[in-house]
Amino acid sequence: MTTRPIALITGASRGLGRNTALNLARKGVDIVLTYRSRADEAKAAVAEIEAAGGRAAALELDTGAVASFPAFVETLKKTLRETWQRDRFNYLVNNAGTGLRKPIADTTQ
């Protein structure tokens, strides 16, 4: 049995991230996708990947909440072990972003 590679794609519940996830899945890559607030859309993307014969998982992640990263890493490790019996993924697509709508003079470092 061949082990399929796994891609972690942030911000993949919709738009460009979702399209990337679906296209990689069609090419034989399993997917861990993240979403911030659209769990229903993330679950729909997982269902579409699984219907095409791949495996996928959706994990909540707010990339603007840096303090939540350690908990996310633990959830990711658990998901990889339980779903794929692996400790690592092969590809990372950093698609999620945050926005700040302020004049540059009103921002700080």
Question: Quick one: average pLDDT of 22-46?
Answer: 95
Whether pLDDT at 19 is above 80: yes
- What is the domain extent for residue 59? 6-95
The set of long-range contacts for 94-101, using a CB threshold of 8 Å and a minimum separation of 24, is 94/10, 95/9, 95/10, 95/11, 95/12, 95/16, 95/17, 95/20, 96/10, 96/11, 96/17, 96/34, 96/36, 96/61, 96/63, 97/11, 97/63, 98/63, 98/64
Predicted local distance difference test score (pLDDT) of residue 99: 66
Residue 103 lies in a domain: no
Domain with 64 in it: what CATH number? 3.40.50.720
Residue 27 lies in a domain: yes
Residue range 51-69, pLDDT digits in tens: 988 999 999 999 888 999 9
Residue 57 lies in a domain: yes
Residue 106 lies in a domain: no
Residue 68 lies in a domain: yes
Number of structural domains the chain divides into: 1
Predicted local distance difference test score (pLDDT) of residue 22: 95
